[in-house]
Amino acid sequence: MNPEGHLPVTQWKIKDSGHKNIEESLAKEFGVHPIISQLILNRHVASLEDAYRYLYPSLNDLHSPFLMQDMKKGVGRLMQALHDGEEIVIYGDYDADGITSVVILYKFIKQLTGKVSYYIPDRVQEGYGLKIPVIDQFKKRSIKLIITVDCGISDIEQIAYAKSIGIDTIVLDHHEIAEQLPEAAACI
């Protein structure tokens, strides 16, 4: 805060797209402010068709999720768990994208009539990632599948341990991959 007790005024600096005529066309075509048009062009959206898809996205415009590594293996293992009536645990990180991922996946599996529960570690007590004592708790509950969301890609020892005691893991994680991937049923 400044001495008068007010928050400082933020001044945004938006990169010039270098295409004022296209900015104006986009603003007119879509009824958006010229700054929105400028931002769209700065994201390398160059045609009206691409701008439409950018502003009004559709599931039909997405690439097939099966283009992602191990997606087929991960879906296969999930389908096996559902078919066999296995209880599935979703293990998510405690931050915003981790919790959101847990909720979305939980609701999806629940709709498939799957036996599903979730685990979100305590940020202070447990920290980030899979923990062996928690995996041991899952073993006592006869869990055979853990799906990690927003974590797991660097938990090589923990996932190897889970595998050694008969628990498969599907890793859904967007974080950087280490030199070695965990021995999971799938790393997506």
pLDDT of 1 reads 57
Q: pTM of the prediction?
A: 0.78
Q: What is the pLDDT along the chain (188 residues), one digit of tens a residue?
A: 566 777 777 877 778 777 777 788 888 989 988 888 888 888 888 788 888 988 899 999 889 999 999 999 999 999 999 999 999 999 999 899 999 999 999 999 999 977 999 999 988 888 788 999 999 999 999 999 999 999 999 999 999 999 999 999 999 999 888 789 999 999 99
The topology (CATH level 3) of 65-187 is inorganic pyrophosphatase (n-terminal core) (3.90.1640)
Residue range(s) in the chain whose domain bears CATH number 3.90.1640.30:
65-187
Of all helices (H) and strands (E), which one includes residue 173?
A: none
